[in-house]
Structure 1
């Protein structure tokens, strides 16, 4: 049973580092700072983190930043404001990474999300399966 304790201790430290990234994603954090948070040497931490989460701490940080950017694009912020709000220093690199991950530029994504919201507001039945809408009496014509 003693062998389980060190693993649990290591996992807690890794989770602590992950939570640190989640809380400080918009700040200028690097591998040294995150490894210090977990109380590991940076090379040992890098190996453990990748083993536990399937990506490096930097890859996870980028993932968190891009997910937060996607959320912020639903607001009324400009792309440049979103870029800086999530911790990127360059709109160009932010846009390239965003497109690589999400398949469209932040501007195109923003336009698409706004168009979707408008369509969902003006014609919500377009987004409900016809069989479900018919069964619930939401369509004028019953099949």
Structure 2
């Protein structure tokens, strides 16, 4: 093995989780994705990955570039965007995705999309006229 290969392996060991840990993190991510509307917390997700909470957060951030909470919130807002387009009310979406309050949901939605849910629905319902030339 060359010096270069040894250095690459050393860096990999220092900065990337082991393969079995990555599998656990992916399993936890799938669990999050399949339970977007369920009231799950960090303990439940970390248990699903068979890791301690703090080690799980560290590994998840290494793999996905955000904490599990940030990832889950982002995925719930992506789902909320779809539900807004489908015509559900803000209240129905808030409760369907298990946000803590309507105010919190509206604030997060606006931060994520730049629009309130109502304005986003109006924007998505507005179709630009097509011009045939």
Q: Could you say whether these structures have the same fold, taking a TM-score greater than 0.5 normalized by the shorter chain as the test?
A: yes
Q: Kindly indicate whether residue 106 of structure 2 is the aligned counterpart of residue 95 of structure 1.
A: yes
Is 1:108 the counterpart of 2:119? The answer is: yes
Measured in 1, the distance between the counterparts of 2:81 and 2:24 equals: 28
State the match for 2:9 in structure 1.
none
Q: Tell me, which stretches of 5 or more residues in structure 1 are unaligned? A: 127-137
* Equivalent in the alignment of 2:31: 20
Deviations 1:50-77 (A, max 9, x none): 1110000000010010000001111121
1:49-128 matches, within 5 Å, as 49-116=60-127, 119=128, 123=129, 125-126=130-131
Which of 5, 21, 29 is the aligned partner of 2:40? 29
Alpha-carbon offset, residue 10 of structure 1: 0.9
- How far apart, in 2, do the equivalents of 1:89 and 1:114 lie? 27
Supply the distance in 2 between the matched residues of 1:113 and 1:48 (Cα, whole angstroms). 37
Q: Secondary structure at the match of 2:126?
A: helix
CA RMSD of aligned residues (A): 1.8
Moved over 4 A (4+): none
C-alpha separation between the residues in 2 aligned to 1:65 and 1:53? 16
Unaligned runs of 5+ in 2: 1-11
* 71-80 or 33-42, which deviates more: 71-80
CA drift at 1:84: 1.2
Larger radius of gyration: 1
Query: d(CA) in 1 for partners of 2:111 and 2:87?
Result: 23
What is the number of equivalent residue pairs in this alignment? Answer: 119
